[in-house]
Amino acid sequence: MDERLVSRQKKKNIFKSPYMLLVPALLFYLIFWFFPVMASLFESFTSTSGTVGLENFKMMFNESLFIKALINTLIFTGVSLMLQFILALLVAVLANRKFKGSKLFLFIMLIPMALPQSAVGILWNTGLVESGWINSLLTSTGIQSVLEVLNLASGLTIWKNVSGIEAVLMLILIDTWTVMPSVMIIILAGLQNFNEEYKEAAQVFGATKFQAFTDIVIPIIKPSIITAMLLRLISGLQVWLIGVMIFGFNNVPFLVERIVYYTDKVRTGVNSYKLANTYSIFTLSVVFLVAFIFVKLTKGKERGEVK
């Protein structure tokens, strides 16, 4: 009787355990992440004839836009990460100064973050054509005349006609305008939790403001910076929508854009489903690898051990 009572109490304790609160999240990830990933993994290693091997990966590597998509994705991620970090840090420091109108400044800076990617694509599409708002702005401010005098432009520019690295850089600028506020707000949260006495003490002992910022402030808010950069890194590797909305498919290829292309545009193709799954697994592997390398490179001393 005692053993039965003990077993019943253990069962009751299991259901009362706080770990049971994790069950819904675990089920969600199993249903909507783990099982689909396992299915894609199986499909990527299974050819159309049913044999298991690397045939789909060979087909992906031989795809005409694979190398360009990989290079564009890595360039976009690396350049946008550095640019957005620098701008976000500068804006966060400025917003943290609590000057007159700082709340209005912060509100204006956060507006792009509230816009969905589709709205951003539509907004910039209206500006990148010959009669768009970008050329109108350049003309009304006289900048267009200056560019023509310096032989940097001959008439109005059709911005959507750019290609190659210029198109990637244009998408980086558009993406920076859109997502930089989300990076800035995380860094700003770290700055607002920073104890100003540390910086003041460093200045008392002869450090300049710049030295106090780089040697005291940056190391202490490093967890916030790493979090913001890691989230932005993963998001940058998954870019596709803004490129498709502005340039269409195949013109400025990215890894995720290839997945969408083979699942949406050429669904009737014999190998399109296999290619889409193979691209998915390859992209997932790239995301994990790059994120792992980033975490290893940025792993430093803990907050209490900062020199």
Task: Give 259-282 pLDDT, tens digit per residue.
Answer: 999 987 776 666 888 889 999 999
* Rounded Cα–Cα distance for residues 180 and 111 (Å): 11
Are 255 and 69 a contacting pair, CB within 8 Å? yes
pLDDT given at position 35:
86
* pLDDT class of 303 with cuts at 50, 70, 90: very low
Residue 181, pLDDT above cutoff 60: yes
Residue 217, pLDDT above cutoff 50: yes
pLDDT given at position 196:
81
pLDDT given at position 66:
95
Q: What is the mean pLDDT of residues 293-303?
A: 72
pLDDT given at position 7:
58
Residue corresponding to tokens 């900048």: 143
242-253 pLDDT, tens digit per residue, is 999 899 898 999
Q: What is the mean pLDDT of residues 287-304?
A: 77
123-154 pLDDT, tens digit per residue, is 898 888 888 888 888 888 888 888 888 887 77
Q: What is the mean pLDDT of residues 19-40?
A: 84
**Of the candidates 242, 278, 268, the residue with the CA atom closest to the CA atom of residue 72:** 242
**65, 181, 223, 246 from 167: Cα distances, Å:** 15, 23, 33, 10
* pLDDT class of 78 with cuts at 50, 70, 90: very high
Residue 305, pLDDT above cutoff 50: no
Task: Give me the sign of the Cα torsion angle 127, 131, 133, 138.
Answer: positive
User: Which three-class secondary structure string do you get for 44-111?
Assistant: HCECCCCCECCHHHHHHHCCCCHHHHHHHHHHHHHHHHHHHHHHHHHHHHHHCCCCCCHHHHHHHHHH
pLDDT given at position 306:
44
pLDDT given at position 284:
92
pLDDT greater at residue 45 or residue 14: 45
Residue 112, pLDDT above cutoff 80: yes
| Cα 298 off chain centre by | 17
* pLDDT class of 23 with cuts at 50, 70, 90: confident
* Rounded Cα–Cα distance for residues 189 and 192 (Å): 5
Helix/strand/coil for 156:
coil
* pLDDT class of 304 with cuts at 50, 70, 90: very low
Are 281 and 44 a contacting pair, CB within 8 Å? yes
Q: What is the mean pLDDT of residues 153-178?
A: 88
pLDDT given at position 267:
65
Residue 173, pLDDT above cutoff 80: yes
Written as six digits, the tokens of 169 are: 């850089």
pLDDT greater at residue 84 or residue 29: 84
Give all domains of the chain, ordered by start, each with its CATH number: 1-44 (no CATH), 60-305 (1.10.3720.10)
Residue 169, pLDDT above cutoff 90: yes
**44, 59, 71, 73, 160 from 68: Cα distances, Å:** 21, 15, 5, 8, 19
Residue 113, pLDDT above cutoff 80: yes
| Cα 64 off chain centre by | 25
pTM: 0.84
Phi and psi torsions of 52, nearest 5°: -95, 130
User: Which of 42-51, 156-165, 231-240 has the highest mean predicted lDDT (pLDDT)?
Assistant: 231-240
